[in-house]
Amino acid sequence: MKTSLKSIALATLLTVSAGTFAQVSVIVHPSNDVTISKKAASKLFLGKSKKFPGGGQAVPIEQSDGSSARDEFHANITKKKSSQLKAYWSRIVFTGKGQPPKEVSSDSEVMELISRNPSMIGYVDSSSVNASVKVVLTAP
């Protein structure tokens, strides 16, 4: 009986834990034929590169601080926590070496901007993706 209760508790915990980690999709305009790696995406969103791997201009769109998509994206792609990201951009801005990406407040805003501009790249919760954008990378 104790073993059954422990098994049920463990299964419940694993199910709840799996649900809290949403997949994030990196998206571009449907006409953009770029392929992108995690490393290339990281460089774009940290301002270390301003071009897609194929050479076209890339304009990253960031989700607002505190959003689950942002936290998941940076945990898996740039490997930075929110506080590290703030410190990083403070240093970059202070030294005059760059500006952080434009921030928007929702998945729908990211998709709307990207669907109208082939130069933009962003990320959204994978469940929000629709035909107005193209997924080029998925991060667990």
pLDDT of 84-120, one tens digit each? 999 999 999 999 999 999 999 999 999 999 999 999 9
Q: Is the Cβ–Cβ distance between 23 and 126 less than 8 Å?
A: yes
- Mean pLDDT value across the chain: 88
- H-helix or E-strand spanning residue 28: strand 24-28
Supply the pLDDT for residue 84.
96
Averaged pLDDT, 109-138: 96
Supply the pLDDT for residue 2.
53
CATH class of the structural domain 22-139: alpha beta
Q: Is the Cβ–Cβ distance between 126 and 72 less than 8 Å?
A: no
Look up residue 124 and give its two tokens.
Answer: 């959204």
Q: Please give the model's pTM, rounded to 2 decimal places.
A: 0.83
Ordered alpha helix ranges (H), the chain: 2-20, 38-45, 68-73, 82-94, 107-116
3-state helix, strand, coil in the chain (%, to 5): 45, 20, 35
Straight-line distance from the first to the last Cα atom of the chain, in angstroms, rounded to the nearest whole number: 35
Among 5-19, 48-62, 78-92, 114-128, the minimum mean pLDDT is found in 5-19
| Residue 62: strand pairing partners | 103
12, pLDDT greater than 80? no
Residue among 33, 23, 22 nearest 136 (CA):
33
d(CA 100, CA 36): 20
